[in-house]
C-alpha cells in the first residue's frame, strides 16, 4: 500500500515539513516519487519513521540518526550507536526513578502534615 505525504503525516504525527526535512537530510532516503513528482510512501517507510521518531523522542541527535541509516554504516557501528543510546535511556530511567522517589517523600510528608492538623 502507498501513502501520500499528508497521510503519512497524519499516521505518524510528524509534520509535512519534518517529513520533507528527513528526506532532504538523507534520514529517509528511499521515498519513491510518482511521475508527477509526488512523494509516495510505503509501509517500510512508516516503520522506519516509527523507529526514527522513537530515537528522536529518546534524545538521539539528527546527525547520529543520519549516520545510523547510511548504507555505508556497518552493522558493528549501528550496534554501537544503539548500545550507547540504550545506556543513555537507562541513565534517564534511573534519574526519573530518583525524581519519583523525591516526589513520593514529599507526598508522604504532606500526608503526615495533614494528619497532624
Query: So where are the chain's domains?
Result: 1-73, 74-117
List pLDDT tens digits, range 64-108: 999 999 989 999 999 999 999 999 999 999 999 999 999 999 999
Whether the per-residue pLDDT at 116 is higher than 90: the answer is no
pLDDT band at 7 (very low <50, low <70, confident <90, very high): very high
pTM of the predicted model, to two decimals? 0.79
Whether the per-residue pLDDT at 115 is higher than 90: the answer is no
List pLDDT tens digits, range 23-80: 999 999 789 998 898 999 999 999 999 999 999 999 899 999 999 999 899 999 999 9
Q: Which fold has domain 1-73?
A: Multidrug-efflux Transporter Regulator; Chain: A; Domain 2 (1.10.1660)
Cβ-proximal residues to 88 (8 Å cutoff; 6+ apart), any chain: 58, 59
DSSP annotation string for 70-87: STTS-HHHHHHHHHHHHH
Mean residue pLDDT of the chain comes to: 94
Amino acid at each position: 500500500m502507498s501513502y501520500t505525504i499528508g497521510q503519512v503525516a497524519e499516521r505518524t504525527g510528524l509534520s509535512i515539513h519534518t517529513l520533507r526535512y528527513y528526506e532532504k537530510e538523507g534520514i529517509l532516503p528511499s521515498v519513491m516519487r510518482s511521475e508527477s513528482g509526488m512523494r509516495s510512501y510505503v509501509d517500510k517507510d512508516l516503520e522506519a519513521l516509527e523507529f526514527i521518531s522513537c530515537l528522536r523522542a529518546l534524545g538521539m541527535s539528527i546527525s547520529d540518526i543520519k549516520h545510523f541509516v547510511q548504507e555505508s554504516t556497518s552493522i558493528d557501528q549501528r550496534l554501537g550507536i544503539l548500545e550507547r543510546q540504550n545506556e543513555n535511556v537507562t541513565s534517564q530511567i534511573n534519574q526519573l526513578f530518583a525524581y519519583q522517589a523525591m516526589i513520593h517523600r514529599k507526598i508522604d510528608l504532606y500526608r503526615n502534615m495533614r494528619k497532624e492538623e
